Structure 1
Amino acid sequence: MKRILLIEDDPEIAHLLQLELGDAGFEVDWAPGGMSGLVRLREAPPDLVILDLGLPDLDGGEVARRIRVGAEVPIIVLTAADSVERKVTLLSGGADDYIVKPFHPAELLARIQVQLRHREGGEQVTIGELEVHLSKRQVFYEGQEVRLSPKEFELLSLLCTRPGKVFSRTEIEEHLWGRSLERDSNVVDVHVANLRSKLRESGAYGYLRTVRGVGYALRQRDKE
């Protein structure tokens, strides 16, 4: 049974989600505040975190950042904010997905299933000196680990399934979030830039290519 940590200060919402997710086969651990949520996370690491932004003791964005420092668990944020800027900030700060209040529990359940499905798999993909261990969710370049956020890893794992293929923005959005994002959203660009930066910091230059106006591809670095 997959465990979900629900960090939500509204007891009515928490109770509803515990019932809905429990009926769907999940074990739900509820924490009513940010600090108690961080404690629960350390005591019993979950498979996924559902995080409300409007917490009484600690801003939800800060909770997401603290979780991401020491854990790679997927984080779905519950937010009343619907601006593109706020969403980009959330995703850049450690969240893997968001859902805007009010929402239907069935939509949240679909988002949960997408995130958990992305964490499954068992192959290892090797492209040049770059190794992607899908089941362990680890990446190595020349034997040294490259630490990625969950979304960065999912982006890399998508690209490495077909090296050389140019994936469109829509294909990436559908794989990472299970839907197309707003037309003016630059969330994909943010994750691509972060992934490229981390690969470069590890010495893996030239693997992630941008095909202007088309999309992104992963290719073995040209030999010098």
Structure 2
Amino acid sequence: MNPQHPEPAPEDPKRILIIEDDPEIARLLQAELGEAGYRVEWAPGGMQGLVKLREDPPHLIVLDLGLPDLDGSEIARRAKQHGDVPIIVLTATDAVERKVQLLLGGADDYLTKPFHPAELLARIQVQLRRGEGGEVRRVGELEIEVESRRVRAGGREVALSPKEFALLELLSSRPGRVFSRDEIARHIWGKPLETESNVVDVHVANLRAKLREAGAYGYLRTVRGVGYALRKPAS
């Protein structure tokens, strides 16, 4: 196949990691993406893909869902723990429920097999463009890039899970405003908080710990009996 590529080859090639156990599909993708100007690496298994991700984080991952050694959903979850690299999943199922699970679990987009390489190229370009600009929120030394879902504290990258980023994104939308636990639950999980559930408190604690580890102290404020707020700490 030789589709017309919608954009010229970039001067500084973006790196794409393909995690795919089918050598024929992998070779096809390597050829198409390489012709489009990307630098491509291939991992034939999930564990090998995670090793490559840790050693040299790519700009984007193309991930086959049906790998023999590790489920693609688990790979997506682990990949997001290392940073918010865009993930496009290749899946053989067209079930709506499965697609929703993929997107909620960390995937940024998906393609159902069989697919045309030109469509994958277009989706890759969309995901990479999202990381090149967009709204940036600043609260003290915190920088939150909304579209690329990247967070920095004093210039230091903070790796958050999708749910932790959703929590920070909500709180940073109105710095200083106290959001109730129920508001947070509805925003992140799309439903009210269950009685006696501590899921919101656990995610707040995890987010606070990661911010502290990056040197950002005192940004998450707890208002007992009310909820949580993000604010610049007092000097």
Partner of 2:8: none
Checking the alignment, whether the CA contact within 8 Å between 1:74 and 1:150 is kept in structure 2 is no
Cα separation, 2, equivalents of 1:194 and 1:59: 23
Instruction: Give 1 or 2 for the bigger CA radius of gyration.
Output: 2
Partner of 1:99: 111
Letter in 2 for 1:75: I
Query: CA 1:88–1:136 in structure 2 vs 1: closer, same or farther (change >3 Å)?
Result: closer
Checking the alignment, whether the CA contact within 8 Å between 2:92 and 2:113 is kept in structure 1 is yes
Cα separation, 2, equivalents of 1:69 and 1:87: 21
Tell me the C-alpha RMSD between the 2 structures.
Answer: 4.0
Query: CA 1:106–1:192 in structure 2 vs 1: closer, same or farther (change >3 Å)?
Result: farther
Identity across aligned pairs (percent)?
A: 61
Checking the alignment, whether the CA contact within 8 Å between 2:61 and 2:85 is kept in structure 1 is yes
The size of the alignment, in residue pairs, is 178
Give the Å deviation of 1:20: 0.6
Give the Å deviation of 1:40: 1.2
Checking the alignment, whether the CA contact within 8 Å between 1:146 and 1:199 is kept in structure 2 is no
Q: TM-score, normalised to structure 2's length? A: 0.60
Q: Deviations over 1:93-142 (max 9, x none)?
A: 11111111111111111111111111112874347x795443892167xx
Query: CA 1:149–1:69 in structure 2 vs 1: closer, same or farther (change >3 Å)?
Result: closer
Helix, strand or coil: the match of 2:54?
Answer: helix
Q: Give 5+ residue unaligned stretches, structure 2.
A: 1-12, 175-184, 191-199, 209-219, 223-229
Query: CA 1:123–1:87 in structure 2 vs 1: closer, same or farther (change >3 Å)?
Result: closer
Q: TM-score, normalised to structure 1's length? A: 0.63
Cα separation, 2, equivalents of 1:191 and 1:37: 34
Checking the alignment, whether the CA contact within 8 Å between 1:96 and 1:150 is kept in structure 2 is no
Letter in 1 for 2:42: W
Partner of 1:61: 73
Helix, strand or coil: the match of 2:78?
Answer: helix
Match of 1:7 among 2, 7, 19: 19
Cα separation, 2, equivalents of 1:85 and 1:26: 32
Partner of 1:217: none
Partner of 1:50: 62
Cα separation, 2, equivalents of 1:95 and 1:30: 19
Checking the alignment, whether the CA contact within 8 Å between 2:151 and 2:158 is kept in structure 1 is yes
Cα separation, 2, equivalents of 1:16 and 1:64: 22
Partner of 1:193: 188
